[in-house]
Amino acid sequence: MTFISLVRHGQTDWNLAKRIQGSSDIPLNDTGRAQAETTGRALAGGRFDAIYASPLGRAFETARIISSHLGLGEPGALPAVAERNYGEAEGLTGAQILERWPEGTPVPGRESRDDVVRRALPALLELGETHPDESLIVVSHGGVIGSLVRHVTDHALPGPGEVIPNGSVHRFVYDDGVLRLDRFNLGPEDRDLLTASVM
């Protein structure tokens, strides 16, 4: 049994402006770095064996900051958990997207949630296979985490309008070829759950 804690990266200026980032490589802002520090401190004291991250800068820097609190060294790059590609919608706000492509209209170049799951899930299953009985951290993105949570909970989570906050932790369990959700939307205030022994 392997525990995989998916962490959403810290805030960027595009997050703050409510612009869709997708595969655009937008860096953390000062708030995002502070969020990564807070998450790292909250995770410190738990037992973690390795850390991986999306290669996009906002995720990889978040992972480096978290790792500095856990003594795990340089994160491993995991390209399969890079953010969902939003095609021509990248850089736009939700209102601008709806104006250009009304509800139900395909956005050119946007990756479907199913496609996100098809690339991200096998990478996590492989981590589970290659790290038996370990606890891992994977720093990723809201679109990827949300797609995986929907998939493994049969769309029970997240609820309507429920967001995945910057710096939040979502713990999955890999066991015998299956990934399931163990804890959803843990924040620094949930330190006892974040650091609880899960082995």
Cα–Cα distance between 92 and 69 in angstroms, integer?
Answer: 35
The kind and range of the H/E element at 15 are: helix 13-16
Q: Is 84 annotated as a binding residue?
A: yes
Q: Is 13 annotated as a binding residue?
A: yes
Q: Which of 61, 83, 111, 134 is catalytic?
A: 83
- Under 8 Å CB-to-CB from 7, ≥6 apart: which residues? 39, 62, 63, 66, 137, 138, 139, 140, 167, 168, 169, 170
Q: What is the DSSP letter of 156?
A: -
Q: Is 29 annotated as a binding residue?
A: no
Q: Which of 9, 141, 151, 170 is catalytic?
A: 9
CB-CB contact of 14 with 86 (8 Å):
no
Q: Is 130 annotated as a binding residue?
A: no
- Under 8 Å CB-to-CB from 51, ≥6 apart: which residues? 63, 66, 67, 70, 72, 75, 76, 136, 137, 138, 139
Q: Is 8 annotated as a binding residue?
A: yes
Answer yes or no: 83 catalytic: yes
Q: Is 114 annotated as a binding residue?
A: no
Q: Is 14 annotated as a binding residue?
A: yes
Q: Is 35 annotated as a binding residue?
A: no
Answer yes or no: 131 catalytic: no
Question: Could you tell me what percentage of the chain is helix, strand and coil, using 3-state DSSP and rounding each to the nearest 5?
Answer: 40, 20, 35
Q: Is 58 annotated as a binding residue?
A: yes
Tokens found for residue 176:
């015998």
Q: Is 11 annotated as a binding residue?
A: yes
Q: Is 83 annotated as a binding residue?
A: yes
Q: Which residues are annotated as a binding site for substrate?
A: 8-15, 58, 83-86
What positions carry a catalytic annotation?
Answer: 9, 83
Q: Which residues are annotated as a binding site?
A: 8-15, 58, 83-86
